[in-house]
Chains A and B, each alone.
Chain A
Amino acid sequence: KNEVEQSPQNLTAQEGEFITINCSYSVGISALHWLQQHPGGGIVSLFMLSSGKKKHGRLIATINIQEKHSSLHITASHPRDSAVYICAVKAGSARQLTFGSGTQLTVLP
């Protein structure tokens, strides 16, 4: 069974700061998702990656398959980035995702 751990659980930053959220998992995977969950509860997919690095606007996601670790970075953070960020992994041929507990990010103006 894959265990997915995220750190930190809570993160408060000032507007403009560089943010890093970490995710580690215990079993080899075929893909990793970074998701954003807003206070209303809806989930938005930010990235899916299986190797290397992806960038979308101010968001950057990296993954190190050997280390079983991924990071989500937010550059020039803004209060509208405040949300819960969730890491979810897909192991091998399984179709289901296994989720981390999420990181609550609050960006203060």
Chain B
Amino acid sequence: EPEVTQTPSHQVTQMGQEVILRCVPISNHLYFYWYRQILGQKVEFLVSFYNNEISEKSEIFDDQFSVERPDGSNFTLKIRSTKLEDSAMYFCASSEGSGIQPQHFGDGTRLSIL
């Protein structure tokens, strides 16, 4: 069964550094999402992306964050200048459509900011 893949599985970065988290969504999916989960807390929505542009974003997704689909397969989340509070598990998801279509999740990238 096709799946969403995320790399790396664990990223350790110094505060203030830029980090790029990578995702390969399921190949025929058109809608892409990033979520994050701070340790011990709920999963939170960050951003959704369709047709090469952001379609929704949360208040968490400020100017430090950006997303890109640099080619036909990858979907990336960039954090420009990381803060300690960016430490979390970041999940990528994709769906075939935006209506009543299931979202499929990757295994996540654990980001640790030192």
Contacts and interface: CB of A to CB of B under 8 A. Distances in A.
Contacts of B89: 41
Interface residues of B, number: 27
Interface stretch (B16-24, B62-70, B75-83, B97-105): B97-105
A85 interface: no
A101 B43 CA distance: 8
Contacts of A40: 107
Given A88-B43, A96-B33, A99-B43, A30 B105 contact: no
A96 B58 contact: yes
Interface in A24-40: 30-31, 33, 35, 40
Contacts, number: 60
Contacts of B33: 95-97
Interface in B33-57: 33, 35, 37, 42-45, 48, 50, 55-56
B45 A42 contact: no
Contacts of A31: 100
Contacts of B108: 41-43
A31 B99 CA distance: 9
A40 B91 CA distance: 13
Nearest to A30: B100
